[in-house]
Chain A
């Protein structure tokens, strides 16, 4: 980044007694001015630029300045000489800035500030010298030196900003409006007559400002309340965007010298949070260590030196050293801005813009031939409604992009706007179901007109008295709330280390809300929309780990059987035709198993073995979908065992399954078995069984008790209990 140009600024605040006066219910000017200064210094501290700030107070009880001599320049205190603002200054403003009991001439104070600026900036390079005067002008001033002061301000190229408790052009502000930043607030203290000194002072302010900056001079006079509301009106002396000189080329022989600047890009918080030790607040007390370990059970640590770099290539991992990578990687041949061709602007969709920036491209500075050549291109593109598709590479080390350069013709200048476009790899082609011609979602006429009215009532663009449409919600005028909030909290914590964080400032919240006028306007149409569109939150089923969830309802168990039966009949047709079920498949193991048993193609033992094999396989995937299938298998296993009078295989399988529950983390499955009462086959059912009915019942119940002790999630077992009770 280019080294930012520094500026020097003296805040000159009136602390005289008149500043402490106020209308009932209004904040004294002193407090308002103090807030402005606080906000400003806060901004400077957090912006962390190299700007230097001094603070001069006038109307103080004491006198401390370099010009004070023989009763001249009294009650003016240089509180702080030019320095980079820091927290100390913020703390001083917070605690030490008190109203004074005297009055001092603001012109004298201005002279002190000028002297301070000149003295302290001598020999240093400053881009801009600025004095900010905050006063109510309510003091007698001697205007005889005015011309001399204006002259020396001009000579020293010092700019001025005034912050006053009232607007500079009182009554005529309303119809002259629109030249200030954004829609201006209603004049403060409307109709309140100013004192003679104030009127006189105001004339002088106007005089100074217009002679300094000619037509725009008065734009640099603000009211306190305006300033507080819109801190962005401080001249933003941000980083100057770095110039990127390059050549625009078309083919091999047409070259135009250009310079690009980043014009729009997402500004990020510049600092990240450091980790400090909680007690000492020392960074150095925390050491961070990264270890490498093998992905085995012991997590065996290995040294960093014993590791090499690799990349995934699908299922392969390819060792690829940094050196080799650098040698083999794609190399671009330096910076470029080469036209690949021209295309209709309409073929480049707004949503295809990629990257995080927009670059403005101008002709090289002071090269009129380049300017003419680029102008020809810009105008040609503009009149043809076309854009250039270009290959853009920032420098030798960076990867090339493909982007579009759009013509942009403004009243004062012309340029190209460059935006990155996607590569094939960046795109995802998703197909979405039709909305418009979908009968289910087709809106009725009344619905359409309700939304129509809603849109009309919520337009953020309004016509003003002159018939000009005015945008009432300009996002690009809103400061990023993230920074404002962060700095607010940092400031607060810096000054009051033990306080909790403050709430979001009301003005910031307001900035993020729908404008009040719009909110009021849309009330009725919104109500209409509300009644015409039934919108209902779909109640999500609670995550209960019961088979009710899996099967749909708790009374679903018979259903599972029914499905099976249905399938059998359906299957029979195919079976007759083909008849080649030879093993228990995984797609429909229950059906395969039943078929095998019925057809007796394989022995009962074998069929059972195949089935248990499938069950085990299914249990390998721990998901409800597979549990459902496993349980259906177990159910079929049990049913078939009972009907063939062979309980041994089933019972022994169940016992082994039970033993493996803790190891394989199959509690969930077991819960489902309990719910479906899928227990051992008892003597009552099959003679050969070695288990009584009681044994069989206990088989599950015992497990359940154990689970209550073992499982930390008691809610789940509770659910099961409830369900069992209900059954």
Chain B
């Protein structure tokens, strides 16, 4: 049975096997879901001073960014948008008053994003007023409605989260019955595994969480965690950051044993905090119906047409003109060195971690108390001490079965908070992959003259003018953005995709303005007047060729007359190659009757035996 399944496994499955998240010891089942429960009361629509966007506007922008990021990064996740405190009601059975389900739990698509766009800005506020209006508030009803959304979903949900966006700390204005009902409903939801977060927004008198909402939201995952943010979000950025931090369920790529040696083992989870986002692979669709098709791959015998089962096939490589054959199992076995895990080799001072020893994006590890109790304490001690002594731990790392080892540096990272008390860097070890000897290439350094102090100082002025604070999330990938804009345009029958702003392009005009005359001054210092760095490099590179730049394809061997004569005398011209002979003819201006080797040799012999 197993073999058949393996054999019929289609390519997509194999890809999934490599997919890191699904690796490791435990399986993820079901989908993540997220419900935005947004207050639609009049207060939400009040514009801030100096034309600042209203809280409602800010929330919509935030929801939109979650929608689009879900589309790009996790299109299987389910998202819903529900308004409460509306005049109109719209929900599956219309049994709840003043609750407006704008989007039912579903994976977001182009239409959803468009819907949200309609709610933005001045026009959006008008539309919201027209379709939903603001009315009575009953958070209890709203929560109840949301719980129905969850329960109506036929799919298995793995992570359920509900975020309440509001600027009213006392939504029922003293109606204790409503307060009570909301509390009960919140408790019901929490009981079924829904995590409730509050994204509270600013209001003139300040938002008092303790008035009401402290009983609604879920307790923090860890008793010592900061849990409820007491400061409301003032800026869109803060709100987005806060939402983003919660929106994704953090998930270990794998859980491993970290062995310090001699049976001292702790358990850690390995997390991917950065991974190159790529354009998702294309899906094949049936032309007539546009429904996706699956691929099946099978192997059969070329001569008798019989289907080949896995054990009818072996693996082979050709080396040194010989074919070497192995079983599939053997091919896997070759890659096995040890069981998966991290094994401590020792410690090194941080300065031994070379900047240029980089081959892969880093990972992150955090202790797993549920697997080996005491791991967190051991881990914390190690973290504190490594960071205090300014050392990193060198480990051998085998991520999964039948994978060869790599050495990694575990760099301690202590927790850092930003101004709004949100975690900026989590506590744990960063896992930096180190190169083996084979990964380091020999590069012939170009040695040239160095700059004088005057020249360096001028450049310092230039650098100074163009300073900025780098933030890792400041640049969007223009290729991906364009791809999704294109898809969006096609999905919504738009005439043309919305233009993207390519943040990776240098702001040349601005830079020139800031630099002013500095560039010319620097150029005067380093370049002679007739030097044109943008001139055709090909022409200028000629003299550089002898240095072995390696750009020229054909080897050019200049033959001295003496050498040639020597060959002619000994009759060894035949040992030279045709290009060499041709070059020789050209060099000495010898006319040839043709380009065949013998003709070239004849011509040369004629010339030099005179």
Q: List 7 tightest A-B contacts by C-beta distance, closest first.
A: A371-B448, A586-B151, A433-B222, A86-B320, A413-B445, A87-B322, A376-B451
- In the bound complex, do residue B261 and residue A329 qualify as a contact, i.e. CB atoms below 8 Å apart? no
* CB pair A330 B245 closer than 8 Å: no
A277-B312, A402-B504, A412-B445 known; A476 vs B357 contact (CB < 8 Å): yes
Minimum CB–CB distance from B259 to chain A (whole Å) comes to: 11
B282 to chain A, nearest CB (A): 5
Tell me how far the C-beta of B285 lies from the nearest C-beta in chain A, rounded to whole angstroms. 4
**Interface membership of B506, Cβ < 8 A:** yes
A46 interface residue per 8 A CB criterion: yes
CA distance A239 to B438 in the complex (A): 11
Are the C-beta atoms of A347 and B470 separated by less than 8 Å?
A: yes
Q: Is B483 an interface residue (CB 8 A)?
A: yes
Given A307-B284, A413-B447, verify A432-B423 contact (CB < 8 Å). yes
Q: Which residues of B contact A404 (CB under 8 A)?
A: 470
The reply to whether B345 and A514 form a contact with Cβ atoms under 8 Å apart is yes
Residue of A283, A354, A427 touching B473 (CB-CB under 8 A): A427
Beyond A264-B358, A315-B75, A318-B491, 12 extra complex contacts between A and B, CB < 8 Å: A2-B550, A261-B441, A263-B443, A290-B296, A314-B70, A315-B108, A338-B506, A425-B73, A426-B477, A432-B423, A459-B346, A538-B373
Measured between beta carbons, the chain A residues less than 8 angstroms from B419 are none
- Is A436 touching B441 in the complex (CB atoms < 8 A)? no
Contacting B320 at CB < 8 Å: which of A88, A381, A617? A88
Among residues of B, the one whose C-beta sits closest to the C-beta of A4 is B550
| Alpha-carbon distance between A265 and B549 when the two chains are bound, in angstroms | 20
User: Which residues of chain A come closer than 8 Å to B491, judged between CB atoms?
Assistant: 313, 316, 318
A425 in complex: contacting residue of B362, B477, B541, CB < 8 Å:
B477
- Bound-state Cα–Cα, A571 to B464, Å: 67
A380 within 8 A of B: yes
A254 CA to B515 CA in the complex, in Å? 10
CB < 8 Å: which of A254, A430, A522, A574 contacts B522? A254
Q: Is the CB of B466 within 8 A of A339?
A: yes
Q: Which of A202-239 contact B (CB under 8 A)?
A: 232, 236, 238-239
- Chain B residues lying within 8 Å of A253, measured Cβ to Cβ, are 512, 519-520, 523
- Of A281, A349, A399, which contacts B316 at CB under 8 A? A281
CB pair A307–B362 under 8 Å, yes or no, is no
Q: Is B53 an interface residue (CB 8 A)?
A: no
Q: Is residue A85 contacting chain B, with contact meaning CB distance below 8 A?
A: yes
Closest B residue by C-beta to A583: B95
Q: Given A383-B460, A493-B325, A330 and B286 touching (CB < 8 A)? A: no
Task: Give the residue name and chain of the B residue nearest to A291 (CB).
Answer: B296
Contact A264 B533 (CB under 8 A): no
A400-B478 in contact given A315-B75, A316-B491 (Cβ < 8 Å): yes
A545 at the interface (CB under 8 A from B): no
Are A429 and B456 also in contact (CB < 8 A) when A364-B544, A537-B372, A577-B181 are? no
| Interface contact B147-A252, CB-CB below 8 Å | no
Residue A96, interface by CB 8 Å:
no
B325 and A281: CB pair below 8 A?
A: yes
A365–B277 touching, CB < 8 Å: no
Residue B344 CB within 8 A of the other chain: yes
For the side of the interface on B, what is the size category?
Answer: 35 or more
Name the one of A46, A232, A250, A285 contacting B511, with C-beta atoms under 8 angstroms.
A250
Which of A85, A239, A486 counts the most B-chain CB atoms under 10 A from its CB? A486
**Does B455 touch A at the CB level, under 8 Å?**
yes
Interface flag for B380 (CB, 8 Å): yes
Residue of A nearest to B257 (CB): A537
Among candidates B352, B415, B448, B477, residue contacting A368 with C-beta atoms closer than 8 Å:
B448
Contact A330 B446 (CB under 8 A): no
Question: Main secondary structure on chain B at its contact with chain A?
Answer: mixed
Whether B260 sits at the interface, judged by CB under 8 Å, is yes
Across the interface, A573 reaches (CB within 8 A) one of B75, B180, B337, B385, namely: B180
Contacting residues, chain A, for B500 (C-beta < 8 A):
330
CB distance from B134 to the nearest CB of A (A): 23
State whether the Cβ of A155 lies closer than 8 Å to any Cβ in chain B: no
Q: B297 near A290 (CB under 8 angstroms)?
A: yes
Query: How far is it, in angstroms, between the C-alpha of A616 and the C-alpha of B398 when the chains are bound?
Result: 45
Q: A677 interface residue, CB < 8 Å from B? A: no
Q: List 20 A-B residue pairs with CB atoms under 8 Å apart, sorted by A's residue number.
A: A123-B576, A241-B441, A262-B441, A281-B325, A312-B280, A344-B470, A350-B353, A352-B274, A355-B361, A366-B543, A376-B451, A430-B248, A434-B222, A435-B428, A436-B415, A475-B434, A485-B404, A489-B330, A522-B261, A522-B346
CA distance in complex: A422, B275 (Å): 8
Contact-residue bracket for chain A: 35 or more
Q: Per-position contact with A for B260-276: 1 when CB-CB < 8 Å, else 0?
A: 11111110000111111
Chain B: which residue is nearest A424 at the CB level? B473
In the complex, the chain A residue whose C-beta lies closest to that of B112 is A314
- Which residues of B in the span 26-49 have a Cβ within 8 Å of any Cβ on A? 29-30
Residues of A within 8 A of B297 (CB): 288-291
**Interface membership of chain B positions 351-376, coded 1 if the CB is closer than 8 angstroms to chain A and 0 otherwise:** 01101111111101011001111111
Per-residue B-contact encoding for A481-505, CB less than 8 Å = 1, 0 else: 1110110011001100100010010
Residues of A within 8 A of B364 (CB): 351
CB distance from B446 to the nearest CB of A (A): 4
When the two chains form their complex, are residues A302 and B250 in contact, meaning their CB atoms are under 8 A apart? no
- For B295-306 the 0/1 string (1 means CB < 8 A from A) is 111111111000
B370 touches A538 (CB 8 A): yes
Question: Would you call B528 an interface residue if the criterion is a C-beta within 8 Å of the partner chain's C-beta atoms?
Answer: yes
Q: Kindly identify which residue among A302, A376, A430 contacts B426, using a CB–CB cutoff of 8 Å.
A: A430
**Contact assessment for B447 and A123 in the assembled complex, using a CB-CB cutoff below 8 Å:** no
Taking CB atoms, residues of chain A closer than 8 Å to B320 are 45-46, 85-90, 494
Smallest CB-CB separation from A245: which chain B residue?
A: B537
A310 near B248 (CB under 8 angstroms)? no
Within the complex, what minimum Cβ distance (angstroms) separates B567 from chain A?
9
Pick out which of these stretches binds chain B: A160-168, A449-457, A688-696.
A449-457
Q: Are A380 and B316 in contact (CB under 8 A)?
A: no
Taking A315-B107, A413-B446 as contacts, is the C-beta distance between A431 and B356 under 8 angstroms? no
* A residues in contact with B411, CB < 8 Å: 350-351
Contact (A533, B378) CB under 8 Å given A264-B435, A426-B274: yes
User: In the complex the two chains form, is B551's CB within 8 Å of A538's CB?
Assistant: no
Contact B446 A259 (CB under 8 A): yes
Task: List residues of chain B with CB within 8 A of the CB of A283.
Answer: 316
Is A353's beta carbon under 8 Å from chain B?
yes
**B562-607 residues at the A interface, CB under 8 angstroms:** 572, 575-577, 580
A125 to B385, CA, bound (A): 58
Tell me if B459 and A377 are in contact (CB < 8 A): yes
Q: How far is the CB of B287 from chain A (nearest CB, A)?
A: 5
| Closest partner residue, chain B, to A343 (CB atom) | B470
B321 at the binding interface (Cβ < 8 Å): yes
A346 nearest CB neighbor, chain B only: B470
Max chain A Cβ within 10 angstroms of own Cβ: one of B345, B426, B468 = B345
A294 within 8 A of B: yes
Can you list, as one digit per residue, whether each of A681-700 has a CB less than 8 Å from chain B (1) or not (0)? 00000000000000000000
B235 within 8 A of A: no
Contact B459 A455 (CB under 8 A): no
Q: CB distance A494 to B276 under 8 Å?
A: no
Known pairs A339-B466, A577-B180; A535 contacts B264 (CB<8 A): yes
CB-contact partner of A343 in B438, B468, B484, under 8 A: B468
Alpha-carbon separation in the docked complex, A368 to B544 (Å)? 11
Asked if B384 CB lies within 8 Å of chain A CBs, one says yes
Give chain A residues whose Cβ lies under 8 Å from the Cβ of B375: 535
A510 contacts chain B at the CB level, 8 A cutoff: no
- Check A433 against B225 for contact (C-beta < 8 Å): yes
Q: Of A62-70, A438-446, A656-664, which stretch is located at the interface?
A: A438-446
Among the interface residues B110, B286, B367, B553, which one has the most CB atoms of the partner chain A within 10 A?
Answer: B286
Whose C-beta in chain A lies nearest to the C-beta of B271? Answer: A430
Cβ proximity bits A566-588 to B, threshold 8 Å, 1 near / 0 not: 00000101100110001101111
Q: Judging by beta carbons under 8 Å apart, are B522 and A376 in contact? A: yes
Q: Which residues of B contact A319 (CB under 8 A)?
A: 285, 290, 490
In the complex the two chains form, is A578's CB within 8 Å of B181's CB?
Answer: yes
Tell me if B317 and A271 are in contact (CB < 8 A).
Answer: yes
